[in-house]
Amino acid sequence: MPGPVNVSSHPERRYEQPPQPPLVRTFLASVERRTAALPAAWREELLEDLREEIAAALADDRTEDPAADGGPAISEERVRRALDWIGTPEEIAADALAEESGSIPPEPENPGGTWLTLGLAVLPVPLCLIPGVGIPLGLVAAFGALVRLWRSAPWARREKRQATLFVLSPLVTVPVLAAALSLAFDGISAPAFVASLLIALALPVVGAIRLARSAARLREQAP
């Protein structure tokens, strides 16, 4: 039988999966310890969701670490901010345990229903581009997205809360961006307003992508 692979002789494989920062390993270990009462499959799904969320939050903030021989490194401060945004291990574990004891676990749903919910989640911002009736239509679409989101089966309450923030984020980001652009260009203009809408669309799109991945993974795991 062939002997163990010498990693040093295969440099192209060395950084395919960068090791998790110590803070992330400690965070996940704490969540795993606090959710020991959950069914093993459900606990592993929770941990996998957290790994994906953390990786997505850190993906754009890697810096080159000379000590790592060219491998990617992440600043400790950035890791702390990402973990603070996701929540504390105590909060995550409490939500997971409460959901396990008091409600039905997430269940896969028809892909068409999932895509309808996600489409409504990202539709409010583009609708605002319609002259006259765009903003009312956007608010109606946002309300419909939230109703479907909270009635849908594929997502846990923690995911639904985060998605709600993503859907509602344009209510804050659009006025702030429009004000900033108007100050920068000496008055609000149609191009500045459109630019603020397009920038504000980023957060709902990110939220929809995360929900889509979670729902797809649940369908793959279904018997």
pLDDT, tens digit (0-9, with 9 covering 90-100), for 123-138: 998 898 888 898 899 8
The whole-number pLDDT of residue 54 equals 87
C-alpha 223/C-alpha 215 separation (Å) is 14
DSSP 135-174: HHHHHHHHHHHHHHHHH-SSS-HHHHHHHHHHHHTHHHHH
Q: What is the pTM of this model?
A: 0.54
Window from 103-112, 171-180, 206-215 with minimum mean pLDDT: 103-112
According to the model, what pLDDT value does residue 63 have? 44
Amino acid at residue number 97: L
Nearest to 198 by CA among 128, 114, 93: 128
Burial state string for 5-39 with b = 16 or more CB within 10 A and e = fewer than 16:
eeeeeeeeeeeeeeebbeebeebbeebbebbeebe
| DSSP run (H or E) holding 64 | strand 62-64
* Residue 20 pLDDT class (50, 70, 90 cuts): confident
Least confident of 2-6, 41-45, 149-153: 2-6
66 token code pair = 């000379």
**What mean pLDDT, rounded, does the chain reach?**
78
Region 195-207 average pLDDT:
87
**pLDDT exceeds cutoff 80 at 52:** yes
- pLDDT band of residue 11 (cuts 50, 70, 90) is very low
- Which of 77, 72, 83, 75 is CA-nearest to residue 18? 72
Sequence ranges of the domains in the chain: 16-102, 111-221
pLDDT at 104 over 70: no
Q: Categorize the per-residue pLDDT at 61 as very low, low, confident or very high, splitting at 50, 70 and 90.
A: low
Higher pLDDT, 36 or 13: 36
